[in-house]
Structure 1
Amino acid sequence: MTDTSEKLDYSKTLYLPETEFPMRAGLPQKEPETVARWQQMGLYKKLRASAAGREKFVLHDGPPYANGNIHIGHALNKILKDIITRSFQMRGFDSNYVPGWDCHGLPIEWKIEEAYRAKGKNKDEVPVNEFRKECRDFAANWIRIQSEEFKRLGIEGDFDNPYTTMAFHAEARIAGELLKIAKTGQLYRGSKPIMWSVVERTALAEAEVEYADVESDAIWVKFPVKGFGTLGSSANEANQKMDELRGSSVVIWTTTPWTIPGNRAIAFSSRYGYGLYEVATAENDFGPQPGEKLIFAKRLADECAAKAKVTLKPIRDIDDGELGAMVCAHPLAHLGYDFLVPLLDGDHVTDDTGTGFVHTAPGHGADDFEIWMDNARALEARGISSKIPFTVDDAGFYTADAPGFGPDREGGAGRVMDDNGKKGNANELVMKALIEAKNLFARGRLKHSYPHSWRSKKPIIFRNTPQWFVYMDKELADGTTLRSRALSAIDETRFVPAAGQNRLRAMIENRPDWVLSRQRAWGVPIAVFADEQGEVLIDEAVNARIIEAFEAEGADAWFAEGAKDRFLGNDHDHARWTQVRDILDVWFDSGCTHTFTLEDRPDLKWPADVYLEGSDQHRGWFHSSLLESCATRGRAPYNAVVTHGFTMDEKGEKQSKSKGNVVAPQDVMKESGADILRLWVATTDYWEDQRLGKAIIQTNIDSYRKLRNTIRWMLGTLAHDKGEDIAFNDMPELERLMLHRLAELDQAVREGYDAFDFKRIARALIDFSNIELSAFYFDIRKDALYCDAPSSLRRRASLAVIRKLFDCLVTWLAPVLPFTTEEAWLSRDPSAVSVHLEQFPLVPAEWRDEALAEKWKKIRTVRKVVMGALEVERRDKRIGSSLEAAPVIHIGDADLLAAIEGEDLAEICITSAVTIVADSGPADAFRLDDVASVSVEPTLAEGVKCARSWRITADVGSDPAFPDVSARDALALRELGYAS
């Protein structure tokens, strides 16, 4: 027993918080230590062992490209994935995250070529497999670097065994998938205008293209009318119409003058009105002169006349029957383009710009190609060849199919674009030739959006080349097509946000056949043999040899000496079959990742539960994965698709080094910690474009500090916890209210994680922590927790609830803040292994009590008015602490009076006493506008201040052994053994 004759240090008799969990997080220093601990303890393997036998939940990782340090987009993407996999792991699933990397393709090849050029080496003089090895080593190095950067973000996954598209098994599977497609007749060699990078010397897919504004030459060109085909009328009528149009010209408009040598037709639209006009006056150097007859869409005639500085006099309308029968001369006929140019009715023609006529070069545009092929048979019947010329080669030079501009030209072939993406002399040569032929109506300049390679950032061209394609609309054995399969799969897929479904559907509905071939060296080859007609060799034995070799040696086997003889064997005529040397589009590689990852790893499953990537992947990975899987398996490789937007700066502008507004994740982690970055990800509306900068980071630091302090206070308070459980029905109402809120939050948290709506979870938990715990429950219960006797039910129940609050809050936050929650969990129980091996606590349904919550909503309404009144008293320095007050509370609402009946409002309002009066209160009482029925008169508490609890009461000194403390505190001191 303690001798009470000596003055007690009452602070030592209180249950004050005790914890080594620091207020200052020191995340930049502590997080790397935690990463090292997780690796040393083998956390990933422990997670897999703990989840053995559970239902699998698989998020399949869209592979980042292995060619540089990670940026903020990578950080956003990987953190979102980590939150998902951790949240499912902690809710009873085996949620295994296997990271992956895209390793083939032009960006890496380009880097090696740059290094070659710097050393004066020529890539073409290096053996192909030696070059490929350098590409492989380059990718492997960046995989190692990016792995460490991802782990520093707190990403947990199988980094010791990731998937890579350049692994031998992966390359074998990719080749095997192509062979499956070939076997079903979906693969074909065709000649189509494709997007071509002159700079990179390869075909490009839509996903490899971005758009930027450029200023282009624009020209208006005359096509002299030569005659008519069948008009469906008498020869005399046809001749009469021809006489009326003799000497007239159809005028087209284009922003690609260099494509004129490839022109083979003119498109018009029967939806619009056209007319024949005569030039009345002219003020130009080379254009049309008075008396010339010209044909335009009527809506555009005056606008076109202004471009050529002429005035036009209308002669008559021209109907679509006349236009459809009309044929023109090529405007460059004098250079050898001595063929007829037909007019074709096309849906793609508009009358909002140009002339109402579209110059049609089927080797240089998708619409041009489609309308030409749709009319090919009819053209042949009219004696017009449907052959498509190859007017431009892979280096951007005109070929022999462009007479007057190709190799036959004095001074050498003209060039559309040079190796650096700069405009060549082709436009000037064409315009000069048109002027010589007196067929240039007008010229100008136009600023417009134009496709560029997203790697070289240089303009591309459209050119007709032989490539390998997959049919979108060929009927397959089951009566479906690849397009119909993909559209059905989209209907069966969950999209978050829902708008992603319509976006992907529109892309699939309108996309052309899938071009697979690339004319490069680093990638998986199109490992087939074809004859001159493009027929593909289908032989299971040959295919088996190819796949077996790829498994053992990788795709390098295709390029090794003697590969053709090795794979064809003795069963085929080697002279007939050519070994295809093109490589596969890297989107096909990544589109196949589901096969060698989800299907081939026993720790995963097919299909994936979810794919998550940026919204640009509707045309990229989501798209290619869908097509590949539908082509080979008839359905999508995923059940759900989640998309995120892009990270902008704080002004909403795109981040760029030139603007100096880039936020690097490495810098944020170094200065503030990964958990701050992760909290930003969880609190932002990631489905849309997000913003990030110093002010936003600081906002998240502030939110984090409040959360951390809440956790810290719970840890300190639980230092006095004996682990006693109190029956739910024996608890005071306030504790049962907190358990009710936990039950509500448990549902919200689980639904939020299921919906991938992390902002809703983060907002709910932050608000709960700040508003309902720190500013309400903890504020009220601090007195009881610090001062009550050990036997106090109120204190014991509060400790039991705080224990549950801690377990729930820390585990719910663990997927978002893995470092902080790990530190807190181990601080609470140093013998624990990891919070990430825990499950979300099971919250009993009996904790839900809507009636109790409604009652306390009314109590808190009254409390809000009292707290507002006390804040005014503190501000005006009439009181220091709220315990100095004993407010008089006037309540004129019967429901509010009933709610507070029997409650200790002094404790709830943290005052020493209160007085309740059932009336509307005096006019000068404190009120809040939104609670008109409650008013407060602040008055000072009467009595003596307790030296232990600081409450001012009338019973201080009622226990002679403790003359300076209240009766409650004296009882606690006796129970603690401070009285003899």
Structure 2
Amino acid sequence: MCAETVDYKDTLNLPKTDFPMRAGLPKREPEWLARWERIGVYDKLRDTAGDRPPFTLHDGPPYANGNLHIGHALNKTIKDMIVRSHQMMGFESRYIPGWDCHGLPIEWKIEEKYREKGQDKDDVDVVDFRQECRKFAESWVDIQRAEFKRLGVTGNWANPYLTMDFHAERVIAEEFQKFLMNGTLYLGSKPVMWSPVEQTALAEAEVEYHDKESPTVWVKFRVAESGGELAGAYVVIWTTTPWTMPSNKGVVFGEKIAYGLYEVTGTPDECWANVGDRYILADERAADVMNRARLDDSMYRRLSDVSIDDLWHVKLEHPLAGAEGGNGEWDDPRDFRAADFVTDEEGTGFVHCAPSHGMEEFELYRDLGMLEQVITYNVMEDGSFRADLPFFGGKHILAAKAKKGDWEGDANAAVIAKLIEVGGLLARGKIKHSYPHSWRSKAPVIYRNTPQWFAAIDRPCNDGQDTYGKTIRERALTSIDQLVKWTPQTGRNRLYSMIEVRPDWVLSRQRAWGVPLTCFTKKDALPTDPDFLLRDPKVNARILEAFEAEGADAWYKPGAKERFLGNDHDADAYIQVFDILDVWFDSGSTHAFVLRDRPDGTKDGIADVYMEGTDQHRGWFHSSMLQACGTIGRAPYRNVVTHGFTLDEKGNKMSKSLGNIIAPQKIVDEYGADILRLWVAQTDYTADQRIGPEILKGVSDSYRRLRNTMRYMLGSLNDFTEADRVAPADMPELERWVLHRLAELDATVREGYAKFDFQGVFSAVFNFATVDLSAFYFDIRKDALYCDGDTPRRRAARTVLDLLFHRLTTWLAPILVFTMEEVWLERFPGEDSSVHLVDMPATPAEWRDEALAQKWSAIRRVRRVVTAALEVQRTDKVIGASLEAAPTVHVEDAATLAALKTASFDDICITSGIQLTADPSPSEAFRLPEIEGVGVVFEKAEGDKCQRCWKILPDVGNHAHPGVCARCNSALG
């Protein structure tokens, strides 16, 4: 029958909310930041902590010398998610941001200013210079702090830690003094990585590896007449550092290598070999060496085997021995012996030894007790040869400035030219290889023997803290395996393997901006003498008292030595050390002046989490481990979380030259910080990640879908009150199924956050919101929410929406800090209201109902077949909407059929009617191959369309209100 047309739109319970679909994050996020600062969210959480268990993430300090890059944003966002999620899971979660303020990068910037003005740094008073460095660092701390806060990172921004604070400098000095007092500090002379450009020693963590083209030479060492049958032959070595040849003190061979004596029988033009020359070579390398000398197979022959016994009796001459003008510098015979590190995989089977410039050679002669005979001091601080070195004095290994990326000085060319002149060269070439460079100046570094201060990692620490071992190495390796959890686990293997083989820690740097090595040495005493180092607790205490009041500048003020030694020691009898500490010692000490000393630190001085990039296995994780093992006897952390590097969309490393750098500030300005944070949450940060415009578009789409979900809930909860709440026991099965899913998800979210798995958390919540809620539950319950009157079903649905709201907002608040605050305030406005002041609500265990979940899993499987069948009809334009259908559904499984009959399956499928039958499916029935035993026969719904809910039902028009069904008539009253 035809019913009178009435507009029932205003009678529906349509969603009502002012929550905008368009986020406008770049403009609105600063307003929330200002609000959080105004109401003091971070401080309120501290003030109301009560007896909550503490949780502390210790911040690895970024360097205060430039704007943030995308790696900084990734790093700080992950940290923020860790801190916020643990706070909302019931911990008192603290975060003290900090900055590394000392060291060469800042010093380098100040020196650049001097160079631009034509000033010499050495002419500036050291305290004045240090004050300029301090001001430079302060300015960048303020800039970076504002940039970090803009990302939504919470923390004690008003009182961060700075390694240049007076108390921090005092503690760093105090931590150094523990090495002084426990016997692990010593002055040694050994090859260290040295930057001629920066004129200081470098640690491994300060070095990065880049390809470099180097000259390579094959050099002849003549066997002296005393060499028996081999006299007059040549031992050939190969090196990629010709500049080390003036410092050669020996050649070594391998006892497991087969050697032969080879004779030149013919030569081509332009060849440095002569007919009759005899060369001793590893048999595996002979053909390659001859080829490098431009000798083909017809131009040489193998004369005989050369036994290892023969080699042990050989005496060698340096190629420059007897050279006119050499002043006897190289006339002594060269040492010749076996060494374990020699192989025949490349080169010649022999290795030339310059122990002043190579660690393996140094250790060889150290273990032989021969260092005094073989150590040279030919290379100066700036990488030049000493002025009085014959032929090469004043030549530089590296240029002062790179020319088109080339740092090559004139030393290699001078050495090669001289070797050619004296007939010492067999061949030369070039090689492109991975080579260490300073990560600051980007210049190559060299190995150079210099006196440096070291912490011995295999010497027992006399401090009585031997629970995890007696030496730093033992304590570190035990800590790695017994005390620390690693995310990902590969971090354990990486740090363990590094510490297992690492040499002693080079603590000293020849610079000015930092904490000095606060110690004194006795004049005329040898470093091996027991009284070489002054170990006096009273002197130490005076130093620390001065540093607490004045900072480390106190060390450089006139009369400092006399002040600190006092009347206890004769100042003229001691030398004050002016080297500064490796900045990794600074940052490695932060556990002492942050975790131990601050009221918002930790009771035991141990952090729950250290979280940094993979490069920090050789950096902060490493130095913190060594430093703490030397002072407190164990690792300063319980968890180590590691993230990878950020690449562009094609997987390339970001660089200015490629033009593919994406600054976090640009992303924030264009998309908002929440989009950047969501990118972090969606990526597997434990591996390298990619970012770019297309990836950010995908992130924005995920954000939009999630925002839609939250907006729908807000609209449907518009006027919800406690009077509307329904107990779970009184809810329909569909609502109880949602509660079951909430209980499952609550466990997933908490476990994920506890394991720092933000990708897993977000993936689970996002899939739940878009698949279980938007595409299933909301889709089904939209009809009841819009069209029911005050029914138990509608009240139950809105109760579930309220429970969903509280969980989704708090689960997502650590990730989408701004958006979830916006969502929260839309529902709970108020000056002191904030989602970040509440916890994730506890989810009752009784919500779990596995039997119900299995039942509804079967129902959803059948629903998939029905909706797919209706989609075919919609595509073929047989129907325009699923409410026009009333299909027959054939279900073979009796248990599933019974479940469907109790579930209002027509509502579940959003049809106007549905018929369920156990009859076999006819041939024309629609089926999905992956869901067996279900067939759907399409039929149109019979009756008229309800003008209010749009269902097509036979009873429409038979009620008091025209044109509506019975349900809608009841709702209208």
Tell me, in whole angstroms, the C-alpha distance in 2 between the residues paired with 1:604 and 1:12.
58
Contact kept in structure 2, 1:98 and 1:163, CA below 8 Å: yes
Contact kept in structure 2, 1:286 and 1:435, CA below 8 Å: no
SS of the aligned residue for 1:447 comes to: strand
Tell me, in whole angstroms, the C-alpha distance in 2 between the residues paired with 1:189 and 1:883.
86
Q: Which residue is equivalent to 2:704?
A: 705
Query: Equivalent of 2:401, from 420, 431, 436?
Result: 420
Structure 1: state its 5+ residue gaps. Answer: 229-241, 380-384, 407-412, 975-980
1:569 aligns with 2:566: yes
SS of the aligned residue for 1:782 comes to: helix
Tell me, in whole angstroms, the C-alpha distance in 2 between the residues paired with 1:658 and 1:920.
69
Q: Which moved more, 1:279-288 or 1:781-790?
A: 279-288
Tell me, in whole angstroms, the C-alpha distance in 1 between the residues paired with 2:912 and 2:294.
93
Tell me, in whole angstroms, the C-alpha distance in 1 between the residues paired with 2:951 and 2:121.
85
Q: Which residue is equivalent to 2:510?
A: 519
Q: Which moved more, 1:180-189 or 1:266-275?
A: 266-275
- Same amino acid, percent of matched pairs: 57
Q: Which moved more, 1:667-676 or 1:883-892?
A: 883-892
Q: Which moved more, 1:283-292 or 1:632-641?
A: 283-292
Query: Equivalent of 1:396, from 370, 377, 383?
Result: 383
Query: Equivalent of 1:312, from 300, 303, 327?
Result: 300
SS of the aligned residue for 2:815 comes to: coil
Superposed displacement of residue 286, structure 1: 5.6
Q: With structure 1 as the length reference, what TM-score do the two structures score?
A: 0.94
Q: Which residue is equivalent to 1:491?
A: 481
1:223-265 deviations in Å (ceiling 9; x for gaps): 112377xxxxxxxxxxxxx431111121100010000011111
Q: Which residue is equivalent to 1:615?
A: 614
Letter of the 1:439 counterpart = G
Superposed displacement of residue 879, structure 1: 1.4
Contact kept in structure 1, 2:187 and 2:451, CA below 8 Å: yes
Query: Equivalent of 1:272, from 230, 244, 257?
Result: 257
Letter of the 1:541 counterpart = K
Query: Equivalent of 1:259, from 213, 236, 244?
Result: 244
Letter of the 1:218 counterpart = T
Tell me, in whole angstroms, the C-alpha distance in 2 between the residues paired with 1:504 and 1:25.
43
Tell me, in whole angstroms, the C-alpha distance in 2 between the residues paired with 1:274 and 1:7.
106
Q: Which residue is equivalent to 1:111?
A: 109
Query: Equivalent of 1:582, from 579, 583, 589?
Result: 579
Query: Equivalent of 2:340, from 344, 347, 365?
Result: 347
Superposed displacement of residue 873, structure 1: 1.7
Q: Which moved more, 1:313-322 or 1:592-601?
A: 313-322
Tell me, in whole angstroms, the C-alpha distance in 1 between the residues paired with 2:50 and 2:195.
50
Matching of residues 372-771 of structure 1 within 5 Å: 372-377=365-370, 386-399=373-386, 402-406=389-393, 413-421=394-402, 422-477=407-462, 478=466, 480-492=470-482, 493-532=484-523, 533-534=526-527, 535-605=532-602, 606-723=605-722, 724-771=724-771
Tell me, in whole angstroms, the C-alpha distance in 2 between the residues paired with 1:465 and 1:743.
64
Tell me, in whole angstroms, the C-alpha distance in 1 between the residues paired with 2:476 and 2:165.
28
Q: Which residue is equivalent to 1:773?
A: 773
Contact kept in structure 1, 2:4 and 2:962, CA below 8 Å: no
Contact kept in structure 2, 1:372 and 1:386, CA below 8 Å: no
Contact kept in structure 2, 1:54 and 1:94, CA below 8 Å: yes
1:337-359 deviations in Å (ceiling 9; x for gaps): 12221223222222111001111
1:415-469 deviations in Å (ceiling 9; x for gaps): 2122225322211221222223222111111111111111111111111111111
Letter of the 1:98 counterpart = I
Tell me, in whole angstroms, the C-alpha distance in 2 between the residues paired with 1:57 and 1:880.
56
Q: Which residue is equivalent to 2:155?
A: 157
Matching of residues 812-961 of structure 1 within 5 Å: 812-831=811-830, 833-959=833-959, 961=960
Tell me, in whole angstroms, the C-alpha distance in 1 between the residues paired with 2:473 and 2:388.
35
- Residues 7 and 940 of structure 1: CA distance in aligned 2, closer, same or farther (over 3 Å): closer
Superposed displacement of residue 866, structure 1: 0.8
SS of the aligned residue for 1:217 comes to: strand
Q: Which residue is equivalent to 1:235?
A: none
Superposed displacement of residue 8, structure 1: 6.0
Contact kept in structure 2, 1:389 and 1:401, CA below 8 Å: no
Tell me, in whole angstroms, the C-alpha distance in 2 between the residues paired with 1:863 and 1:6.
35
Q: Which moved more, 1:125-134 or 1:468-477?
A: 468-477
Tell me, in whole angstroms, the C-alpha distance in 2 between the residues paired with 1:294 and 1:6.
112
Q: Which moved more, 1:898-907 or 1:478-487?
A: 478-487
Contact kept in structure 2, 1:326 and 1:342, CA below 8 Å: no
Tell me, in whole angstroms, the C-alpha distance in 1 between the residues paired with 2:6 and 2:549.
81
Contact kept in structure 1, 2:901 and 2:916, CA below 8 Å: no
Letter of the 2:349 counterpart = G
Tell me, in whole angstroms, the C-alpha distance in 2 between the residues paired with 1:822 and 1:801.
21
SS of the aligned residue for 1:96 comes to: strand
- Residues 794 and 572 of structure 1: CA distance in aligned 2, closer, same or farther (over 3 Å): same
Q: Which moved more, 1:396-405 or 1:169-178?
A: 396-405
Structure 2: state its 5+ residue gaps. Answer: none
SS of the aligned residue for 1:504 comes to: helix
Contact kept in structure 1, 2:897 and 2:917, CA below 8 Å: no
Q: Which residue is equivalent to 1:410?
A: none
Letter of the 2:168 counterpart = A
Tell me, in whole angstroms, the C-alpha distance in 2 between the residues paired with 1:405 and 1:436.
14
1:376-415 deviations in Å (ceiling 9; x for gaps): 35x9xxxxx5241111001111116743322xxxxxx222
Q: Which moved more, 1:340-349 or 1:818-827?
A: 340-349
Matching of residues 160-175 of structure 1 within 5 Å: 160-175=158-173
SS of the aligned residue for 1:333 comes to: coil
Q: Which residue is equivalent to 1:234?
A: none
Tell me, in whole angstroms, the C-alpha distance in 2 between the residues paired with 1:225 and 1:440.
15
Superposed displacement of residue 631, structure 1: 0.7
Contact kept in structure 2, 1:50 and 1:837, CA below 8 Å: no
- Residues 7 and 925 of structure 1: CA distance in aligned 2, closer, same or farther (over 3 Å): closer
Superposed displacement of residue 288, structure 1: 2.4
Tell me, in whole angstroms, the C-alpha distance in 2 between the residues paired with 1:10 and 1:227.
116
Superposed displacement of residue 284, structure 1: 5.1
Contact kept in structure 2, 1:284 and 1:309, CA below 8 Å: no
Matching of residues 50-61 of structure 1 within 5 Å: 50-61=48-59
Tell me, in whole angstroms, the C-alpha distance in 2 between the residues paired with 1:52 and 1:458.
53
Contact kept in structure 2, 1:227 and 1:328, CA below 8 Å: no
Q: Which residue is equivalent to 1:972?
A: 971
- Residues 158 and 454 of structure 1: CA distance in aligned 2, closer, same or farther (over 3 Å): same
Contact kept in structure 2, 1:258 and 1:426, CA below 8 Å: yes
1:560-592 deviations in Å (ceiling 9; x for gaps): 111111111122122221111111111111001
Name the Cα RMSD after superposition.
Answer: 1.6
- Residues 512 and 402 of structure 1: CA distance in aligned 2, closer, same or farther (over 3 Å): farther
Q: Which residue is equivalent to 2:233?
A: 248
Q: Which residue is equivalent to 1:41?
A: 39
1:907-966 deviations in Å (ceiling 9; x for gaps): 00001001122233222222212113212122211111111111111122332x212111
Contact kept in structure 2, 1:344 and 1:371, CA below 8 Å: no
Tell me, in whole angstroms, the C-alpha distance in 2 between the residues paired with 1:847 and 1:609.
32
Tell me, in whole angstroms, the C-alpha distance in 1 between the residues paired with 2:924 and 2:957.
37
Tell me, in whole angstroms, the C-alpha distance in 2 between the residues paired with 1:284 and 1:353.
26
- Residues 312 and 475 of structure 1: CA distance in aligned 2, closer, same or farther (over 3 Å): farther
Letter of the 1:167 counterpart = D
Tell me, in whole angstroms, the C-alpha distance in 1 between the residues paired with 2:947 and 2:694.
44
